[in-house]
Structure 1
Amino acid sequence: MTLTALIVDDEEYSRKSLYYLLQEYCPEVQIAAIVNSVAEAREQLRTKQVNLIFLDVAMPRESGFELLPDLKSSNTLVIFTTAYDHYALKALKASAIDYLLKPIDIEELKAAVKKAHDQMLLISERGTAASDPKQPDHVLPDDGTITIPHTHGFDVINTSEIVYIEADSNYSIFHLKNTGKMIVAKPLKEFEEMLAGKAFLRIHKSIIVNFKYVKAYSHRNGLQVILKDGSALPVSRRRLNEFQEKAKAFFKGE
């Protein structure tokens, strides 16, 4: 899949540098236009179909964040590019696919483009599934990515790596398939909203589980979900019906 991109940056050197890096190291990216302001970006978006924007943050008149409302109705992905690391959390909350600090590192650029490429493939596959009359309506969406904040910025992880998420006061503990635990300074409810509609369900006030790792359900020792690694998680009584309905839809669709 080709990524058709727009570069938005008020600094000429930064625009040219990013363009040459993409030409040299990211052949899957086709540059549709290069502009120096949010206003010019809006003009380009009226006439050009793009699915990726490399967006500077600190620009005169309008910041890069002010372009985001124009993208709400599209599947356009955003990679922020900036010289200032203190915008990282705001970029995370804006659901950016990645955040690159200037001067842009080649390997970080290639990794960010790969994330965007993988995400666009998922979006394309979901669109095909939605338009296919043979596609069962109980099949849950494919895996995607979410951004996880930490003290130095954020990580983008594939949702298929999440086994379950556990609440600890205002923190959330991610139990990941290959990399152990990750503690995040955000409440569980925020991740419940991010993962709504996917293969996840809040089965208890303190637990969200990924159905991909569920092996069994038992009420022998209280209401419990048994995971493929043998661990057991509690299911609250008030969430039991929702759990059973989603489990039936999920496993029927596998």
Structure 2
Amino acid sequence: MLKIVIVDDEFKSRELVKVLLQSCCPDIDIVGLAGNVKDSIALIKNTSPDLVLLDVELGVETSFNLLQQLPAISFDIIFTTAHSHYALQAIKFSAIDYLLKPIDPQELKQAVEKVRARQEQVYFSKKVNVLLQNLQATTSIQQKVALPTSDGYIFVPIDEIIYCEADGAYTTIFTQDGSKRLVSKNIKEYEAMLESNHFFRVHNSYLINLNRITKYVKGEGGYVVMSNQTSIDVSKRRKDAFLAAIARH
């Protein structure tokens, strides 16, 4: 049975999540609810939950203050947050699950089942560390992204990624150390995740790091030469947007 703690600074929100869990998730034990950082830390230490549903905003503090005060993260986390929250990008980079408010019962059920199914606590602790590091980073160069692989995750500095190449439902990611890694997400997901970090989709098959371009050669669409000497075509229909992105960059 999965032991769950619910943390939210709003009483009605805590009770709603409790009702949703009880109605759609079998074999769970809700061991406690808390509304602030201090009470949450005490509750987590006393109950040793398997999963914490954690609201990002906790009054004048945040859930990240809570995580920084715990000696170890020995539980899974599902964040709950508003779509526009500043931390959403950092949460995505760390590959930790999150639910947007208002919470959809089916999405909640799926997120809990994912926790029940996986056995990756070592990786999860690393995800939390990456999340906290990313939140403290002052530039995108200092941030890392979690890349899912066949046997877990690897954590790569975003600026070390040269480009991403589409491979059906997968993506091959090329990095500065000469490695290439096939990861189990499609290129559209990485475009949405990285476009605010100086990445641009120059072609249906390629998402490039603008910081890693060494040369652009003009043509109908033209092509770029990346820092690993790979030449990548710029599609004709994306050329103007690409040149505008370069000018802004």
Q: Where on the TM-score scale, by shorter chain, does this alignment land: which range?
A: 0.5 to 0.7
Residue from 146, 150, 164 that aligns with 1:160 = 150
Q: How does 1:1-254 map to 2 (within 5 A)?
A: 2-71=1-70, 73-86=72-85, 87-93=87-93, 95=94, 97-119=96-118, 121-123=119-121, 159-160=149-150, 170-173=161-164, 179-181=169-171, 188=175, 205-209=177-181
Unaligned runs of 5+ in 1: 127-140, 148-154, 190-204, 211-254
1:145–1:157 contact (8 Å) kept in structure 2: no
What TM-score do the two structures reach when normalised by structure 2? Answer: 0.53
1:85–1:101 contact (8 Å) kept in structure 2: no
State the AA in 2 paired with 1:88: L
CA 1:28/1:72 → structure 2, altered by over 3 Å: closer, same or farther? farther
| Offset, 1:80 | 0.6
CA 1:207/1:181 → structure 2, altered by over 3 Å: closer, same or farther? same
Rounded to whole Å, the distance in 1 between the matches of 2:116 and 2:97 is 12
Rounded to whole Å, the distance in 1 between the matches of 2:69 and 2:3 is 17
Task: Please give the root-mean-square deviation of Cα atoms over the aligned residues, in Å.
Answer: 3.9
Rounded to whole Å, the distance in 2 between the matches of 1:158 and 1:117 is 18
Percent identical:
32
Moved more, 19-28 or 78-87: 78-87
Rounded to whole Å, the distance in 2 between the matches of 1:48 and 1:117 is 18
| Offset, 1:71 | 4.1
Rounded to whole Å, the distance in 2 between the matches of 1:13 and 1:91 is 24
Unaligned runs of 5+ in 2: 131-144, 183-249
Aligned length: 161
| Secondary structure in structure 2 of the residue aligned to 1:85 | coil
What TM-score do the two structures reach when normalised by structure 1? Answer: 0.52
Q: Which runs of 4+ in 1 moved over 6 A?
A: 144-147
CA 1:30/1:97 → structure 2, altered by over 3 Å: closer, same or farther? farther
Partner in structure 2 of residue 152 of structure 1: none
State the AA in 2 paired with 1:173: C
